[in-house]
Structure 1
Amino acid sequence: MKLPHNAHVAVADGNRFMFLKNTGQIFEPKLEMVEQPDLDPSNFSAGVRHQDDVSQRTGATDLNELAHGAAVAEWLNAKAVSGEVTQLLVLADPKTLGEMRRHYHSALEKALVGEIDKTVTGEPLDKIAKIIADT
């Protein structure tokens, strides 16, 4: 995947969020940590869609994880609206990515250079860069 130089990368799952920057070249990304924001998940709107008792009991749906995904999207929205983020790649597990998409602002959608639905939050930055380059 092409990742423009100085593009930002959001790596998220239901519990963790890393905000990175590509300091490498377009086909050879080199990721640098910008910050790991401590978010306060307060948007539990996913609960309206996930009121299925069976999913709740089997652990298939965790509203706290979905709220974290919404909080990540809201944080990224603020960065895109303010102009701090103009090019963004999002890497998130499928469930978190799906929840994030529901909350994307149009400014964030315009800044997106791509999305990868893969869980990589526990991986070192050089491995995440390789996953991006190989996608």
Structure 2
Amino acid sequence: MSAIKLEHDMWVLVADGEKALFLRNEGDAQYPNLQVMREDHHDNPPTREQGTDRPGRLHDASDNHRSAVADTDWHRIEKDRFADEIAAQLYKMAHKGTFKKLVLVAQPQVLGEMRKKLHKEVADKVTGEVAKTLTNHSVSEIEKVLAGS
């Protein structure tokens, strides 16, 4: 991964399907100093705790053949919903002029979902992306990963 130049006042979003950190660089490109501006949590238990139905069955016309239908992945659906919420929050922040430049750091699936949902006003401000899960890392570790060391 190449290093990301964290300019002064640049924002960094670090997210997965359950947690989002909104960070702002109060330092400069040479000496970044990310500060947590906001932290959001989204309760997302495993699918087994969210859905208790047995898998559905399909019958063919002769009624001699039955097929199982795959279970719904409620955990994945909640991750997608959280990505939608983050995209909406970023739009509100961009519309208010909260940030001029943004780096997205997210779990690959969440990053892909957010990309689809980002408003053009936000997408135009994205200067870099990192497809990694860093939400449980310290801010100093996040700075090191973004610096490429």
Q: Per the shorter chain, which TM-score range?
A: 0.7 to 0.9
Structure 1: any 5+ residue segments left out of the alignment?
41-52
Aligned to 1:88: 102
One of 18, 26, 44 as aligned partner of 1:23: 26
Q: Is the 8 A contact 2:105 2:132 kept in 1?
A: yes
Distance 1:56 1:29 in 2: 42
1:27-83: CA deviations, max 9, x gaps? 43221111114569xxxxxxxxxxxx54746x8x61001110111111001111221
The count of corresponding residues between Structure 1 and Structure 2 is 122
Aligned to 2:16: 13
Aligned to 2:119: 105
Aligned alpha-carbon RMSD (Å): 2.3
Q: Is the 8 A contact 1:91 1:116 kept in 2?
A: yes
Aligned to 1:46: none
Q: Which has the higher strand share?
A: 2
Q: Is the 8 A contact 1:27 1:133 kept in 2?
A: no
Aligned to 1:33: 36
Q: Is the 8 A contact 1:39 1:72 kept in 2?
A: no
Aligned to 2:91: 77
Identical aligned residues as a percent: 30
Structure 2: any 5+ residue segments left out of the alignment?
44-68
Q: Which has the higher helix share?
A: 1
Larger radius of gyration: 2
